[in-house]
Amino acid sequence: MNRVATAGLPVKLHDIEQAAHTIARAVPHTPAHHSRTLSEIAGCEIFLKFENLHFTASFKERGALNKLSSLTDAERKRGIVACSAGNHAQGVAYHAGRLKIPATIVMPEGTPFNKVKHTRDFGATVELRGANFHEAVAAANVLVSERNLIMVHPFDDPKIIAGQGTLALEFLSQAPEIDTLVIPIGGGGLISGNSIAAKALRPDITIYGVQTKFYPSMYGAVKGEKVTCGGQSIAEGIAVKEPGHITRVIISALVSDILLVSEPEIERSIVTLLEVEKTVAEGAGAAAFAAVLANRKKFHGRKVGIVISGGNIDMRLLSNVILRELGREGRIQSLIIAIEDRPGFLAKVATIVSEAGGNILDVSHNRLFNNLSARSAELGMVIEARDVEHAGDIRKKLEQAGFAVR
């Protein structure tokens, strides 16, 4: 299977081993470990690879440095260009800065200032071009010809793919018992490199890719299905409409299946990683664990290596994800209570809630729009309980006191 599966592919194990040597000094190995608690939650043995702990907080440095290191002196002098508002931008800008290669990063207009600033701080020139990613890519291609720059593609490049593949070399030596790998897919660079390395070293390993239901582009390309891509996904890092051509071939050859995860599944995975592993994963970084949780039977009894590909998530978004998940778990509930519009009723309700051990987070009154009498009002209340049963208790106590609760 080894020879057959990886023969003829544009990247070889040897390229990846060489990439590991190339990036060794400037990209420290990331930690990996078995998680007892996540294994219990998922019903299989879970091993985690913390790619969120790179200096720029994603795996992208591996490929970026391998590509930059492959440039000739003449090419380095010409300078490079990359199009990304995310992890690829950071990875390229950081290592180009280190290697003193002039770097231009094209980002779409309206990219949050923070991301622009981070990239500039590494010494790169940031050009804001185009209303969306598609237009920004076009603008970057114009710069390649206008300014004679070298394009550093985010995924469809053998040097990038070989660089990303160094992850599997590390992971399989840190956790040799792994028999299954689960890896997120955007353009497909990460899973391509890692599939080649892993299949070459362990022909029997099973590899699953993960995409979001909003952007099943590689899923469609590999299965020959027509799919639609679009929508605001929390997993920006893998919200890619156009999968790579090189990566598509590698994935078709080596990846067993591509699993699609929903937004709530990804959100739950982010919160679980935060609560149990004390680690911050971005949406794409939490997608692989989400896929395992959503496909328990498939993974039952397996020793599953999960790649947490990155940790760059906006803090307000993270705060929102936490609250939404608490709402889904029933720990935060929104109640609407019919009350008479006269003094004392809020106090009564608040007393019942607090005596039941609930915590009131928000209160609103609706006097205008309800089906009750003009002397009545609806009291909206957001309460926090210890868990979903406790929330039920609080509700029951209100009802026992004669309040109508919706």
* Residues within the interface to its own copies (CB under 8 A): 31, 36-37, 52-53, 55, 57, 110, 112-114, 271, 274-275, 278-281, 311, 315-316, 318-320, 322-323, 325-326, 331-332, 357, 384, 386-387, 390
Tokens of residue 195, six digits: 């599939």
End-to-end Cα separation, the chain, in angstroms: 60
**Alpha carbon distances (Å) from 406 to 300, 326, 379, 399:** 40, 19, 10, 10
Indicate the residue among 78 and 331 with the shorter CB distance to its own copies.
331
Indicate the residue among 120 and 223 with the shorter CB distance to its own copies.
120
Q: How far is the CB of 397 from its own copies (least distance, A)?
A: 16
Whose tokens are 């000094």? That residue is 25
Tokens of residue 381, six digits: 């209340």
Indicate the residue among 52 and 180 with the shorter CB distance to its own copies.
52
Q: How far is the CB of 146 from its own copies (least distance, A)?
A: 28
Q: How far is the CB of 142 from its own copies (least distance, A)?
A: 25
> Which neighbouring-strand residues pair with 336?
380
Indicate the residue among 156 and 267 with the shorter CB distance to its own copies.
267
**Alpha carbon distances (Å) from 391 to 267, 327, 347:** 22, 11, 19
Q: How far is the CB of 52 from its own copies (least distance, A)?
A: 5
Indicate the residue among 132 and 319 with the shorter CB distance to its own copies.
319
Indicate the residue among 36 and 241 with the shorter CB distance to its own copies.
36
Pairing of β 103-107 and β 359-366: unpaired
Q: How far is the CB of 9 from its own copies (least distance, A)?
A: 33
Element (H, E) at 43: none
Q: How far is the CB of 222 from its own copies (least distance, A)?
A: 31
User: Crossing angle, helix 158-174 and helix 13-23, to 10 degrees?
Assistant: 80
Indicate the residue among 76 and 324 with the shorter CB distance to its own copies.
324
Whose tokens are 């590999």? That residue is 222
Indicate the residue among 99 and 151 with the shorter CB distance to its own copies.
99
Indicate the residue among 362 and 399 with the shorter CB distance to its own copies.
362
Q: How far is the CB of 250 from its own copies (least distance, A)?
A: 29
Select from 394, 376, 377 the least CA-distant residue to 385. Answer: 394
**Alpha carbon distances (Å) from 330 to 41, 293, 392:** 19, 19, 9
Indicate the residue among 12 and 324 with the shorter CB distance to its own copies.
324
Q: How far is the CB of 119 from its own copies (least distance, A)?
A: 14
**Alpha carbon distances (Å) from 106 to 72, 127, 174:** 23, 5, 36
Element (H, E) at 201: helix 189-201
Asked if 68 and 219 count as a contact pair (C-beta separation under 8 A), the reply is no
Q: How far is the CB of 292 from its own copies (least distance, A)?
A: 20
Q: How far is the CB of 270 from its own copies (least distance, A)?
A: 11
Q: How far apart are CA 282 and CA 91, in angstroms?
A: 16
Residue-wise over 64-102: b if at least 16 C-beta within 10 A, else e?
Answer: bbbbbbbbeeeebeebbbbbbbbbbbbbbbbbbbeeebb
